[in-house]
A and B are shown apart, each in its own frame.
Chain A
Amino acid sequence: MKGADLALTFLDLALIVACFGFAYRYLTSSIPRLYAKTLRELLGPWADQLLTSPLTSDLRLRGPLQFTNILPPRMQLPMSHDEFIACFERVAPGLYGEAFAILSRQAPQDERKEPPQNEWAQFTKRLKGLTEGEHSYEAQEILKISELHGQRELFRIRSALWQLFPDVNGLISRDKEFLTRFDHANRRRNFRQLTVMAGLLTFCGNLTLNRLFDIGNLQQGSPLFDAHVLIALPRMVWHGEFVNLLSYIAGCLLPTLTIAGIAEILDRKLFGTTWMNVMKPPMENDTSRSTASG
């Protein structure tokens, strides 16, 4: 058997595994799920609120199995830096949310040196009347920040308000690290899935290294998927033929890893999306970023 034939066999199998992997990931929306998981690790359970609020449904998509539009879209792909800020400012709780909404409306005007619309001034006036009751603490905090930075410095006020949510703020200011982490988790998850699939293929097909040589040499015309092994394996365990079992597993391991490795490369070349470019790193003069990172 030529080495090229064996390589081609591995390549064929890897292609099958890569295609299965892609289909599985697509149908189970595993990238949005992984994104939610990574966010949850960093923000805690509050990430669920951030990702499921109806206020941010325009930033989400319908998943592959959400055929109708009876419910709002539920699939959240990794958000860009600006999308994330917008998403957070919409779901920020209580009076903080109101403050963010006003500031995001007024800040661009402030930048363009347009005359202020006094919306913020009216808001702070309203806050002064809320010194008692459920909202008093939030009101006091926002008023204090407003006093510290002056009514006209809306940009600084917005920045100071972000400091009240340090983990969200940290996530935005370190978005590159977050994406590296997400990308790493994505690749690790992909490789794990592909290895499981390659393992299943190797096991169900009885594709030990010897067998692959046989198939390559076309000396044995037996079908690829062999039910015999499914019966033989429990018998090995039952009769205590551990040496046979171990040698069988070792024989399967090498093809599994080889197929999974090639499938991973194929997967990245054919279907892979690197999320490193989704949220661009902060530009030096990008003012919207400095708002979030304070």
Chain B
Amino acid sequence: MAEDREFDIKYPKTATNRGGRFWVNPLNLIAARSKFRMDRSSQWRDVNERSIPPTPLSPGQEPRTRSFKELLPSHKPGDAIRAVILGDSGEGDHSQYGLVPLIRALKPHFMIIDGDVAYPAGQRTDYIEGFFEPYNDLGIPIWAVPGNHEYYSPNKGREFVDVFCTRKYVNEWKRFGLRFVPQPGTYWELSDSSIPPDSKITNVSFIGIDSGHSGNLDSDESSDAKQMEWLGERLLAAEKENRKVILLFHIPILVSGELDSAPQLRQLHKLIASSNRVKAVICGHIHNFQAYERSVFGKALCEITGEQVDSEPPAYFVSGGGGAYLAVPPKSKGLTYPIHAMYPDVDQWRGQAAENLWQGTISHVRRGIAKVKLSQSGIDRLFASMQEGALEDADKPSLLSLLYVEINQNGATITPVFLSDLSKLYPDEVELISIRNTNPPPDSGLVENCKQNNPEINDLTVKV
């Protein structure tokens, strides 16, 4: 990476409401526990989705499909679309707020959050503090797929449906300066069906999948079967309409260079492997950025499905560095499935973590815990929060990341963007960037500039 210019971020008061010691609070740790919870998310999905009304605006449309036109009223087929995709955002502290200037600078038309929208347990206050307040005044529609933390709520994900799919939180969307466009469900498709199959216009759709409480979609539950059936239909339709698909879901099966044995997503990956229209798969859940070569993901697909993948495998990203505490990065060598790029890598993470003796000690212990593969969720949160608390300034967010998707006449690209790039997007004289600054930098080719300055980023850009 090119050397970073130092700058400060001016945080609003709400960013400190939750403080840097969010996970030191035992109540938050208990609310976010994953152990001793039964996974009944597929049953709750059905129950929760009963409160979603059909919209009168798309009477003849596929029930879970919405067009870009609905999201962006002035959009015409073939118009350029800019979107930001990030995962694991909803902590509501400095690290989450720190990404907001970067999002503003990228001027996206809409944003998609790849799960874990509201920590610790997806309750109403968690959505206010971890979703609405940080993204105050962005003025764009935001869609999401539910992560595991959304299903930890006492109402088992009901709040997610209320916020994103029903009209109940319209006042909050308005109060926090966000454009409200309800999702058709917890799993959905965003596409432009008006583009004819033989058109030269780039036709890309986003499909969001609800991976539930623990990434178990292979169960016999009718809701899971329904979701997979729906995905199969949409991928067939994409084939017919000559559309490329960017697939998003929260819990990954390939992460940190290994196949995670816990998630049961075999059926989902069979569909990915069998369709030649899925061009990129984006997951979250692990709080850092990981990119894999297509061939590596192809190898993982073979292993998961037990079948040979004929077509070119999709690009594969784990993009969970959207605001929550950073996970301990895995070792980069000797992995079964080598990671093409990881951010932060072990050195960057150590460099950031070992700024003083206290932080260095904590990071050493965290790394030790990660090495022996002890259950990390609670312990890691606790140590991360202690580390974050010790920093007591705004430097922490500099290791966060998001994905920038641009669809135009030349095609579609997915570019990873890191918060450390923010300094390059603003003129030299800017030393203090306000979260609420509604005047993004004047330069329109922000990502292009960014890529020129950072050959590594250029290398990571994926053409869909």
Contacts and interface: CB of A to CB of B under 8 A. Distances in A.
B346 interface: no
B124 A45 contact: yes
A93 B73 contact: no
Nearest to B172: A93
A268 to B, nearest CB: 32
By size class, the interface of chain A is 20 to 34
Nearest to B155: A44
Interface string B294-317: 000000000000000000000000
Interface majority SS (helix, strand, loop, mixed), chain A: helix
A46 B162 contact: yes
A145 interface: yes
B56 A134 contact: no
B158 A44 contact: yes
Which 3 residue pairs spanning A and B have beta carbons closest together? A94-B170, A93-B170, A167-B51
B123 A141 contact: no
A74 B50 CA distance: 30
A94 B171 CA distance: 5
Nearest to A140: B57
A165 B52 CA distance: 8
B56 A94 contact: no
B73 A136 contact: yes
Contact of A96 (B57, B161, B170, B178): B170
B159 interface: yes
A164 interface: yes
A131 B72 CA distance: 10
Interface string A86-104: 0000000111100000000
B168 A163 contact: no
A132 B74 contact: yes
Contact of A134 (B51, B159, B167, B179): B179
B292 interface: no
Contacts, number: 78
Interface majority SS (helix, strand, loop, mixed), chain B: loop
B177 interface: yes
A68 to B, nearest CB: 28
A36 B170 CA distance: 22
A148 B56 contact: yes
A93 B53 contact: no
A93 B171 contact: yes
A167 B139 CA distance: 29
A137 B180 contact: yes
Interface of A: 43-46, 48-49, 93-96, 131-138, 140-141, 144-145, 148, 160, 163-167
Interface of B: 48, 50-57, 70, 73-74, 123-124, 139, 155, 158-159, 161-162, 166-171, 173-174, 177-182
Nearest to B175: A134
B382 to A, nearest CB: 28
A239 B180 CA distance: 66
B168 A46 contact: yes
Nearest to B124: A45
B464 to A, nearest CB: 28
28 contacts: A44-B155, A44-B159, A44-B161, A45-B124, A45-B158, A45-B159, A45-B162, A46-B162, A48-B124, A49-B168, A93-B168, A93-B169, A94-B180, A134-B178, A134-B179, A135-B174, A136-B73, A136-B179, A137-B180, A138-B170, A144-B56, A144-B57, A163-B53, A164-B53, A165-B53, A165-B166, A165-B168, A166-B52
A167 B52 CA distance: 8
A44 B171 contact: no
Contacts of B180: 94, 134, 137-138
Contacts of B124: 45, 48
Given A131-B73, A133-B179, A167-B50, A138 B56 contact: no
Given A44-B162, A45-B159, A166-B50, 5 more contacts: A43-B51, A45-B162, A93-B170, A134-B179, A165-B166
Of residues B56, B57, B159, B169, which shows the largest number of chain A Cβ atoms within 10 Å of its Cβ? B56
Contact of B181 (A46, A137, A165): A137
A81 to B, nearest CB: 20
A292 B318 CA distance: 46
B39 to A, nearest CB: 20
A131 B52 CA distance: 23
A163 B123 CA distance: 26
Nearest to A46: B168
A90 to B, nearest CB: 13
Contacts of A131: 73
Contacts of A137: 70, 179-182
A98 to B, nearest CB: 11
A49 B124 CA distance: 11
Contacts of A135: 174
A87 to B, nearest CB: 14
A141 B52 CA distance: 15
A167 B168 CA distance: 11
Contacts of B52: 166
Contacts of A141: 55-57
A135 B51 CA distance: 21
